Amino acid sequence: MKKTAFFSALRGFSSFLLFFLMVGFVVSCCMLLFLNVLSDEMGLIYNSDNIAEAAKITFLNVLIITVLFKTADFIRRKIMVDKPVKIITEATEKIMNGDFSVRIKPMHGSGMEGFNKVGEAINSMAEELSSVETLRTDFIANVSHEMKTPLAVMQNYGTLLQTPNLSEEKRNEYAKAITDASRRLADMMTNILKLNRLENQQIYPNLTTFDLGEQLCESLLQYESTWERKNIEIETDIAEGVSVSADAELLSLVWNNLFSNAFKFTENGGRVSLTLKADESYATVKISDTGCGMSAEVGAHIFEKFYQGDTSHATQGNGLGLALVKRVVDIMQGEIGVESAVGVGTTFTVRIRRAENELEEAR
Ligand code: ADP
């Protein structure tokens, strides 16, 4: 600490000396020129006393000018440099200690533009970090909360299974409840891992060109038993020969989730429709249902992790499906939209870029 103060004093003194020498040099040169002109033009002759007197006055003047300039420069630096640097350093230290609420106010005055730019960059960084932190803590809270329910179910039914002289029917019922809860937990973990890998870009899309209509039909057919059980009418309008260049496995996640929701939220006797249309650049898929629909408020949050607008179906999902869907569509540089009305139904529209070679042929 003492060493730093010593070196800073030394630096201050050497800068003062340098400035003093520079001013001394400039003033001496000016004086010499001035005296030369005077002696040449007016024939003045200087003796050693005059010169010694002039040198003393010049030295004093140079000293005063140097002190004045250095003091003015010191005050300017304190106000224009040290103060903003202190504000910025304090803010970054707070951010380093985890306080992301800190914001640097714009500083007024000329010469502050550079500091204001740094301040703005730090403010955006703090905002970004604070939203990441909120997401992280929300995510942990949600995961813990979502894990508690199936674990509690498993614990309760596990205890019930230990009851002596249990009937075969009851034993099966309790065992099924445990299996269902553990499946939910496993599904949730799989979805969390997938989402995590998608968000951290650990999954690199494996692009292939394939027939989108065929993929959609395959995905829809997985729900055959559900639509038969619930007596749901199926309507399809699929344009033929529409190929897309995408990651087939990732894209099938999108259709599976959208169909699964359509069948889940549609009551017995309802209708689920699938249409595939294509223009020059995009393939457009619409998956509609005549289910319960959702309000605008719910619609605004459905792509958020763990959000469940409809709690009556909460045991059949974990609110991660549409977050995954959105992430995959973003990775494919596609678009997803939803239109819905409570009691009428819901339509999800997904737009995916068509295969490049097909576009070439169309041109
Ligand atoms: P989950 O289905 O597991 O609840 P999702 O992320 O798939 O989670 O969906 C989030 C929410 O979006 C659902 O809880 C529901 O409120 C709403 N939602 C999604 N699809 C539909 C649909 N087809 N009809 C009505 N609501 C839907």
pLDDT digits (tens, 9 = 90+) for 274-290: 999 998 889 999 999 99
Please work out whether the CB of residue 84 comes within 6 Å of at least one atom of ligand 1: no
Q: Strand pairing of 208-211 and 243-246?
A: antiparallel
Helix intervals (H) in the chain: 2-42, 48-77, 83-96, 113-161, 168-199, 212-221, 224-229, 248-264, 296-299, 321-331, 356-362
Beta-carbon contacts of residue 282 (< 8 Å; ≥ 6 apart): 351, 352, 353, 354
Please determine, for residue 313, whether its predicted confidence score (pLDDT) is greater than 70.
no
If you measure from the C-alpha of residue 10 to the centroid of ligand 1, how many angstroms do you get, rounded to a whole number?
70
User: Range with the lowest mean pLDDT among 38-47, 74-83, 86-95, 354-363?
Assistant: 354-363
Please determine, for residue 165, whether its predicted confidence score (pLDDT) is greater than 70.
yes
Q: What angle do CA 246, 252, 258 make, to 5 degrees?
A: 125
Please work out whether the CB of residue 302 comes within 6 Å of at least one atom of ligand 1: yes
Q: Whole-angstrom distance between the N-terminal and C-terminal Cα of the chain?
A: 74
CB 353 within 8 A of CB 281: yes
Assign 28 a pLDDT band (cuts: 50, 70, 90). Answer: confident
Assign 314 a pLDDT band (cuts: 50, 70, 90). Answer: low
Average pLDDT over residues 172-179: 93
Average pLDDT over residues 285-296: 95
- Residue 69 has, within 13 A of its CA and on its CB side, a CA count of 14
**Encoded tokens for 55:** 């040198």
- 176, burial (CB in 10 Å: exposed 0-12, middle 13-18, buried 19+): exposed
Residues 44-69: pLDDT tens digits?
777 888 888 888 888 888 889 888 99
Domain with CATH 3.30.565.10 in the chain: 208-362
Give 3 or 114, the one with higher predicted confidence: 114
Please work out whether the CB of residue 262 comes within 6 Å of at least one atom of ligand 1: yes
Residues 125-155: pLDDT tens digits?
998 888 787 777 777 777 777 788 789 989 9
Give 67 or 316, the one with higher predicted confidence: 67
Homologous superfamily assigned to 208-362:
Histidine kinase-like ATPase, C-terminal domain (3.30.565.10)
Residues 320-335: pLDDT tens digits?
889 889 988 998 889 9
Assign 315 a pLDDT band (cuts: 50, 70, 90). Answer: low
Instruction: Map residue 99 onto helix, strand or coil.
Output: coil
If you measure from the C-alpha of residue 272 to the centroid of ligand 1, how many angstroms do you get, rounded to a whole number?
15
